[in-house]
Amino acid sequence: GHFIISELRPKAQYAVSAKKPDYETVDMTIAYTDPSHVLYIHILSGDQLLTEAGEAIRDKNWQKAESLLSRAHNAGANRAATHYLQGILAWRREQYDEALSILTALTKTEKNAPYLYLFIADIHQYHTGDTAQAKANLQKFLALRYDPGVEKRLREL
């Protein structure tokens, strides 16, 4: 929105806070010096922050991704999506134990999400070498969604 704040004293400092549900909050201090100046504040929604975090992960910009995920969390973005992207970030950074911890915790709340079990199985099979855990997670995937390729993969393990 556009707002006009009247009766500001020149050469004074003001605390400004921009808030909107499901958007990040921006707090700043400004020095009011000229009545013709315009203050522009751009706030992003939790979903926008998650989209940008996904792009930062794709581009291997780890610090930006971490910052965006933190901002998304603070903006009240979808918890499952935020944690899933945190798991992807850890995996892309080759922090497999951290990725497994995040994704396994997510399965406690996202019980009908077969993709989580497949991702966890991939990490166990291809990165940690734990075939027993890979098998267990492939079985959990198949219990939720049948896929002949996954079934074949399980048999071959």
Tokens of 8: 């500001």
Q: Of the given ranges (5-9, 92-96, 108-112, 143-147), which has the lowest mean pLDDT?
A: 5-9
In this prediction the pTM is 0.84
pLDDT of residue 34: 83
| Average pLDDT score, the chain | 94
Mean pLDDT of 11-29: 92
Mean pLDDT of 38-56: 94
The answer to whether 135 and 154 are in contact (CB under 8 A) is: yes
pLDDT of residue 60: 97
CA–CA separation, 77 and 69 (whole Å): 9
- Extract long-range pairs of 33-37: CB within 8 Å, 24+ residues apart: 34/10, 35/8, 35/10
| Helix pair angle (62-74, 79-92), 10° resolution | 170
- Extract long-range pairs of 98-104: CB within 8 Å, 24+ residues apart: 99/123, 100/124, 100/128
pLDDT digits (tens, 9 = 90+) for 76-93: 999 999 999 999 999 999
> Which of 115, 121, 116, 129 has the alpha carbon at shortest distance from 153?
121
Mean pLDDT of 115-138: 97
Determine which helix (DSSP H) or strand (DSSP E) holds 141, and give its type and residue range.
Answer: helix 131-144
Mean pLDDT of 98-103: 98
